[in-house]
């Protein structure tokens, strides 16, 4: 399968714990995006990378959130000191710079108890 993959698919954690999600984009895609989707809402942009450079971060991305794409391939999104309000589906997407179509992964569903 050469699509976007995300791991884990589901994560349940207790409030205050740290969690890390991984996204593997389509191999030749140089852009990678993170979105957050809460129940009944459309996805909201969090941040994006072009190769290894993080080019934009949303105001939704508080100081507890950090994302990396160290070698320009896979990316990680870490949430420190999780809060119940962080419960959501975290979606990753990738694209080529010269193309406007984003391909989405299956998402990681986070539940903070």
Partner 1 sequence: AQTVTQSQPEMSVQEAETVTLSCTYDTSENNYYLFWYKQPPSRQMILVIRQEAYKQQNATENRFSVNFQKAAKSFSLKISDSQLGDTAMYFCAFMKPVLTGGGNKLTFGTGTQLKVEL
Residue 16 CB, nearest distance to partner 1 (Å)? Answer: 27
Q: Which of 8, 12, 55, 60 is close enough to bind partner 1 by CB under 8 A?
A: 55
Say which residues have a Cβ less than 8 Å from residue 7's Cβ, sequence separation at least 6: 21, 22, 24, 108
Q: Which of 32, 90, 95, 112 is close enough to bind partner 1 by CB under 8 A?
A: 95
30 membership: H or E segment, kind and range = none
**Cα distance between residue 7 and residue 11, in whole Å:** 9
Residues touching partner 1, count (CB under 8 A): 25
Q: Which CB, 20 or 30, lies closer to partner 1?
A: 30
């Amino acid at each position: 399968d050469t699509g976007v993959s995300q791991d884990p698919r589901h994560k349940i954690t207790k409030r205050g714990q740290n969690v890390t999600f991984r996204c593997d984009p389509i191999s030749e895609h140089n852009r990678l995006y993170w979105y957050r989707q809460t129940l009944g809402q459309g996805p909201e942009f969090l941040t994006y990378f072009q190769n290894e450079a993080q080019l934009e971060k949303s105001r939704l991305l508080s100081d507890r959130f950090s994302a990396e794409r160290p070698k320009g391939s896979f990316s990680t999104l870490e949430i420190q000191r999780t809060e119940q309000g962080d419960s959501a589906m975290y979606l990753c997407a990738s694209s080529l710079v010269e193309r406007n179509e984003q391909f989405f992964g299956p998402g990681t569903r986070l539940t903070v108890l």
